[in-house]
Chains A and B, each alone.
Chain A
């Protein structure tokens, strides 16, 4: 059974392009131009994953409303915001509403498809009994599961978005090794400017600090990038 992806995007051409790409990758695609028609269908049947644009036609924040509406119906449904807006405030609001990831429209189709695949992979792994720990990285207090895309610090779950997860994963894989912003962008499959990486790091630190106020493992190496401080 192939996964069913819902694409809610008000630009017809773009929506069609996304739909084509996902169909080519073997997914079923339902595409909607607006919130109302999407909700109409979702009322009877939820998709397996939703890709939502924030501005939907006349509704400037229609995507946010749709996300909240979907979250109320399903805690697990993977939701990705895909928007032209790249303000921090939009990203923060989108993620706060429970989206799994927030991407700007700069993202390339292969990257987008890879993210979707990763999210489905996580669902599959979660469904399996917890035995396969092949792709689990443990470094001191950090435990990071490459299959389930989950991250624990001192045994507490850190709720990271997919992008954030990949950044942490890239850093933690090689403790003490400085990762430049470019490398992090590649690893997290982002096309963004330096400032965006900085704000991702900022958000990641906050999430860790929420669990452990003493958290100081992500080091800034000014002018170069970031590194994960291993246990000394």
Chain B
């Protein structure tokens, strides 16, 4: 049996399919919702961090100090303890600040690119501020040994504010590449003394010189400027260029130095966001930590840092939402896995339900099929156990219906018998009246009518007998009378009987086998053959009626063939039903019981009967097939 899920049963599967779709849409909605929540949280957090920062005195001190000058910022990089050797390989990898033409603060000679340029690296650890100047200079002029001035040669000047707010200026110059110590410079420009705490190393290079210095942090405030001063002529020792971000002469023009990690950077670096930035009042970045998140997922919070109505800057927090996307992605995968499992389970369940319904329906079908026997009689429904489910209940509820059908069937069967019975008495009245009448002397010209009436009575009686025949036949289907007999002998006997009964017909008997042992009731089988031959004779146009008996595959096959009217198509099965006849109602009465009787007998013998039009000539062929002697027969 082919298994096919009815469409109706797929509906639950479709419903289950809706869940992942709804889930997906819900997750998308949830993601957006969470983004919005994140964003608003970020705004709140930013605002509250900004307030906290504004209340931090150190932070405010630094930031307000940084704010009051227009010059640029100098961000210090956090470093390890560096060796003052004039080499840059122990510096962290970072892009140094470059100074060239644009940064010329003073020019006393025409400038060419070759004449001066430098890179500056700034770094600090918790003890010192480190500076590394990588100066490109075509001619390096060192300080003269006997000259007091430190400024009539190539030198580097650094100005820084001190933590207490005062201002110091240092010059680094050397008579030859070596360790150097800073000279403290008076406001007038004169070198006052050496500052032994500030040391460095001057190193000659192919393109100029490197200067690496370390300044203890307790000398360092938040302001810083550095200039490189170029002297190229050994004899005149005139200053040609001063190059730097801002001049060192005026404390007010110093640039801003932001140490790392510094109070501001420390404050913002601790925040658990991907990128935190503090922007000054004039939109310059004061401090920034972290890397900017990918722009498509970034959310941003912005809050002013202000105290007592005065704004120092703006706090900008950028955060990625990759974790959120990741979470949603994970949920999606889980959704798909769970949905697939549920779908599979549902499919399995639907399949199981379908299979069990099928099985149950099959059982019920078999049960219902078994209710009617081959003759269409309905046997009583077996009283089932307590109905297990609706289907069983349905079958149980069929019982009253079947009982009614059975009753109706019984009624019809009794009806035939009652009709038979009831008609007989009035028929006898007519017959006996006629017989009484015929005994008296009546005019001979009237006698013919009595004869006709008697003829009619006889025909009516025959009809009644035929009606009763099928019923009496069923009564005589007694398994106890089943014997083994030779079908060939019965057929032979019958045919020789027909030869005398129907002298006008020519019977052609062909028996291929001498003996055809079967089990059954020979008289009944003879009756079957009677019916077939009776029909064959009545339908026959020609003279010849052929009767053939053969054996094939453990079956005895009896064929009765006549020539004559063919059967209307698609009627062959119905012909075996009671009272079905397709005969033109001409001559004798015909009730259509002959083939019905034949079928009852064939069934009783465990065989079957078929009727068809002949293929060789115009005519009808009836085939009866019964099993040869059953080994397990109920022979007595």
Q: How far is the CA of A207 from the CA of B68 in the complex (A)?
A: 147
B520 interface hit (Cβ, 8 Å): no
Residue from B473, B500, B526 with most neighbouring chain A CB atoms (10 Å):
B526
Interface residues of A in 172-220 (CB under 8 A from B): 180, 191-196, 198-199, 220
In the complex, chain A residues whose CB is within 8 Å of the CB of B522 = 220, 222
CB-CB nearest in chain B for A17: B432
Interface residues of B in 467-501 (CB under 8 A from A): 468-469, 472-473, 475-476, 489-491, 493-498, 500
A129 interface hit (Cβ, 8 Å): no
A145 interface hit (Cβ, 8 Å): no
Let me know if B439 and A24 touch, CB within 8 A.
yes
Interface majority SS on B: helix, strand, loop or mixed? helix
B589 interface hit (Cβ, 8 Å): no
Contact with A along B493-536 (1 / 0, CB 8 A): 11111101000000000000000000000110111011000000
How far, in Å, is B472 (CB) from chain A's closest CB?
A: 5
A36 interface hit (Cβ, 8 Å): no
CB-CB nearest in chain B for A24: B439
Let me know if B523 and A11 touch, CB within 8 A.
no
In the complex, chain B residues whose CB is within 8 Å of the CB of A191 = 461
Let me know if B435 and A108 touch, CB within 8 A.
yes
Supposing A17-B433, A21-B435, A191-B461 touch, asked if A87 and B494 sit within 8 A by C-beta, the answer is no
Let me know if A223 and B497 touch, CB within 8 A.
yes
CB-CB nearest in chain A for B422: A84
Which of B129-137, B212-220, B423-431 lies at the interface?
B423-431
In the complex, chain A residues whose CB is within 8 Å of the CB of B436 = 17, 20-21, 24, 109
How far, in Å, is A34 (CB) from chain B's closest CB?
A: 15
Let me know if B496 and A224 touch, CB within 8 A.
yes
B466 interface hit (Cβ, 8 Å): yes
CB-CB nearest in chain A for B470: A195
In the complex, chain B residues whose CB is within 8 Å of the CB of A104 = 424
Q: How far is the CA of A21 from the CA of B436 in the complex (A)?
A: 6
Q: How far is the CA of A18 from the CA of B428 in the complex (A)?
A: 10
| Contact pick for B421, options A20, A84, A222, CB 8 Å | A84
Let me know if A14 and B432 touch, CB within 8 A.
yes
Q: How far is the CA of A224 from the CA of B493 in the complex (A)?
A: 7
**Interchain residue pairs with CB less than 8 A apart (19):** A11-B426, A17-B429, A17-B436, A86-B468, A104-B424, A105-B424, A105-B425, A106-B461, A109-B435, A180-B497, A194-B530, A195-B473, A198-B523, A199-B476, A221-B497, A222-B494, A222-B523, A223-B493, A223-B529
How far, in Å, is B422 (CB) from chain A's closest CB?
A: 8
In the complex, chain A residues whose CB is within 8 Å of the CB of B527 = 194-195
B178 interface hit (Cβ, 8 Å): no
How far, in Å, is B480 (CB) from chain A's closest CB?
A: 12
Let me know if A195 and B472 touch, CB within 8 A.
yes
CB-CB nearest in chain A for B473: A195
Q: Which 9 residue pairs are nearest across A and B when measured between Cβ atoms? A: A223-B494, A84-B424, A17-B432, A222-B493, A223-B497, A224-B497, A105-B428, A109-B435, A222-B490
Interface residues of A in 72-107 (CB under 8 A from B): 84-89, 104-106
Q: How far is the CA of A74 from the CA of B408 in the complex (A)?
A: 45
Number of interface residues of A (CB under 8 A): 35
Supposing A223-B490, A223-B495 touch, asked if A84 and B432 sit within 8 A by C-beta, the answer is no
Supposing A11-B429, A180-B497, A223-B530 touch, asked if A192 and B490 sit within 8 A by C-beta, the answer is no
Contact with B along A1-38 (1 / 0, CB 8 A): 00000000001011001101100100000000000000
| Contact pick for A18, options B432, B465, B475, CB 8 Å | B432
Supposing A109-B436, A222-B494 touch, asked if A192 and B465 sit within 8 A by C-beta, the answer is yes
In the complex, chain A residues whose CB is within 8 Å of the CB of B468 = 86, 193
Let me know if A105 and B493 touch, CB within 8 A.
no
CB-CB nearest in chain B for A192: B465
| Contact pick for B429, options A14, A21, A222, CB 8 Å | A14
In the complex, chain A residues whose CB is within 8 Å of the CB of B497 = 180, 221-225
In the complex, chain A residues whose CB is within 8 Å of the CB of B427 = 105
| Contact pick for B476, options A18, A84, A88, CB 8 Å | A88
CB-CB nearest in chain B for A181: B497
In the complex, chain B residues whose CB is within 8 Å of the CB of A18 = 432
Residues of B participating in the A interface, judged by any CB pair closer than 8 Å: 417, 421-422, 424-429, 431-433, 435-436, 439, 461, 465-466, 468-469, 472-473, 475-476, 489-491, 493-498, 500, 522-523, 525-527, 529-530
How far, in Å, is B481 (CB) from chain A's closest CB?
A: 9
Supposing A13-B429, A221-B493 touch, asked if A195 and B424 sit within 8 A by C-beta, the answer is no
In the complex, chain B residues whose CB is within 8 Å of the CB of A57 = none
Supposing A86-B472, A88-B472 touch, asked if A14 and B425 sit within 8 A by C-beta, the answer is yes
Let me know if B496 and A223 touch, CB within 8 A.
yes
Let me know if A87 and B472 touch, CB within 8 A.
yes
In the complex, chain A residues whose CB is within 8 Å of the CB of B425 = 11, 14, 84, 105
Interface residues of A in 140-178 (CB under 8 A from B): none
In the complex, chain A residues whose CB is within 8 Å of the CB of B424 = 84, 104-106
In the complex, chain B residues whose CB is within 8 Å of the CB of A21 = 432, 435-436, 439
How far, in Å, is B582 (CB) from chain A's closest CB?
A: 24
How far, in Å, is A106 (CB) from chain B's closest CB?
A: 5
| Contact pick for A88, options B417, B433, B475, B490, CB 8 Å | B475
Residue from B432, B473, B476 with most neighbouring chain A CB atoms (10 Å):
B432
Q: How far is the CA of A222 from the CA of B490 in the complex (A)?
A: 5
Q: How far is the CA of A20 from the CA of B435 in the complex (A)?
A: 11
Supposing A191-B461, A195-B472 touch, asked if A223 and B432 sit within 8 A by C-beta, the answer is no
CB-CB nearest in chain B for A182: B501
Let me know if A195 and B461 touch, CB within 8 A.
no
How far, in Å, is B252 (CB) from chain A's closest CB?
A: 142
Q: How far is the CA of A198 from the CA of B465 in the complex (A)?
A: 14
CB-CB nearest in chain B for A10: B425
In the complex, chain A residues whose CB is within 8 Å of the CB of B431 = 108-109
Q: How far is the CA of A13 from the CA of B427 in the complex (A)?
A: 11
How far, in Å, is B530 (CB) from chain A's closest CB?
A: 7
Residue from B417, B427, B428, B465 with most neighbouring chain A CB atoms (10 Å):
B428
Beyond A109-B431, A221-B497, A224-B493, 8 extra complex contacts between A and B, CB < 8 Å: A84-B424, A84-B428, A106-B424, A109-B436, A193-B469, A194-B530, A223-B496, A223-B526
CB-CB nearest in chain B for A198: B523
Q: How far is the CA of A21 from the CA of B428 in the complex (A)?
A: 13
In the complex, chain A residues whose CB is within 8 Å of the CB of B489 = 222
Q: How far is the CA of A51 from the CA of B422 in the complex (A)?
A: 19
Q: How far is the CA of A196 from the CA of B431 in the complex (A)?
A: 21
Q: How far is the CA of A192 from the CA of B468 in the complex (A)?
A: 11
CB-CB nearest in chain B for A106: B461
CB-CB nearest in chain A for B472: A195
Q: How far is the CA of A198 from the CA of B468 in the complex (A)?
A: 15
Residue from B475, B497, B527 with most neighbouring chain A CB atoms (10 Å):
B497
How far, in Å, is B38 (CB) from chain A's closest CB?
A: 98
Residue from A89, A192, A222, A224 with most neighbouring chain B CB atoms (10 Å):
A222
Residue from A85, A87, A192, A195 with most neighbouring chain B CB atoms (10 Å):
A195
In the complex, chain A residues whose CB is within 8 Å of the CB of B466 = 193
Q: How far is the CA of A106 from the CA of B496 in the complex (A)?
A: 30
In the complex, chain B residues whose CB is within 8 Å of the CB of A222 = 489-490, 493-494, 497, 522-523, 525-526
How far, in Å, is B476 (CB) from chain A's closest CB?
A: 7
